[in-house]
Structure 1
Amino acid sequence: MPTLVHLPTGKAVTVRAAADLFLGSLGNPNTVRNYGIAVGKTTERLGEGRPLASVEDAEIGEALELLWGRSAVNTWNARRGAVLSWTGWCSEHGYEGPMVPAWAKRLAVPDSETPARSKMAVDRLIARREVHLREKALWRMLYETSGRAEEILGVNIEDLDFAGRRCPVKAKGARTKARRRGQAREDYVLETVYWDAGTARLLPRLLKGRTRGPVFVTHRRPGPGKVVSSRDVCPDTGFARLSYGQARALLDEHTAVRGPGTGWDLHEYRHSSLTHLGEQGASLLMLMAKSRHKKPENVRRYFKPSPDAIAELTSLLAPGDSRR
Structure 2
Amino acid sequence: MLDVPDLDTANRCSVVTRERGGREIIAWQTGTARLSPRMLAGRNSGPLFFTDRKARPSVACNDIDPTTRRARLSYRPAGELLEAHTARYDAGPRTQHRLRHSRLTHAAGEGASTPVLMRLSGHTSVRSLAKYARVSDEGLRRYQANSDPAARRLPGRA
- On the 8 A contact 2:108/2:133 being kept in 1, the answer is yes
Change (3 A) 1:221 1:314: closer
Q: Distance in 1 between matches of 2:107 and 2:73?
A: 28
- On the 8 A contact 2:9/2:34 being kept in 1, the answer is no
**Match 2:3 to one of 148, 156, 159:** 156
Structure with larger Rg: 1
In structure 1, the partner of 2:127 is 297
User: Does residue 80 of structure 2 align to residue 233 of structure 1?
Assistant: no
**C-alpha displacement at 1:284, in angstroms?**
2.1
- On the 8 A contact 2:3/2:47 being kept in 1, the answer is yes
Change (3 A) 1:246 1:292: closer
SS in 2 for 1:163: coil
SS in 2 for 1:267: helix
In structure 2, the partner of 1:264 is 94
Unaligned runs of at least 5 residues, structure 2: 146-150, 152-158
Change (3 A) 1:189 1:282: same
Change (3 A) 1:300 1:235: same
- On the 8 A contact 2:110/2:139 being kept in 1, the answer is no
The TM-score, its normalising length taken from structure 1, stands at 0.38
Change (3 A) 1:314 1:163: closer
Q: Which has the higher contact order (CA 8 A, sep 6+)?
A: 1
SS in 2 for 1:191: strand
User: Does residue 39 of structure 2 align to residue 206 of structure 1?
Assistant: yes
The 5 Å alignment of 1:134-145 reads none
Q: Distance in 2 between matches of 1:294 and 1:252?
A: 28
**C-alpha displacement at 1:237, in angstroms?**
3.0
In structure 1, the partner of 2:148 is none
SS in 1 for 2:15: strand
SS in 2 for 1:254: helix
Q: Distance in 1 between matches of 2:127 and 2:100?
A: 16
Q: Distance in 1 between matches of 2:29 and 2:143?
A: 30
Q: Distance in 2 between matches of 1:256 and 1:202?
A: 21
In structure 2, the partner of 1:313 is 142
Q: Distance in 1 between matches of 2:80 and 2:8?
A: 29
In structure 1, the partner of 2:29 is 196
Change (3 A) 1:306 1:251: farther
SS in 2 for 1:221: strand
In structure 1, the partner of 2:18 is 171
Unaligned runs of at least 5 residues, structure 1: 1-153, 174-187
Seq. identity, %? 38
Aligned residues: 142
Q: Distance in 2 between matches of 1:170 and 1:314?
A: 33
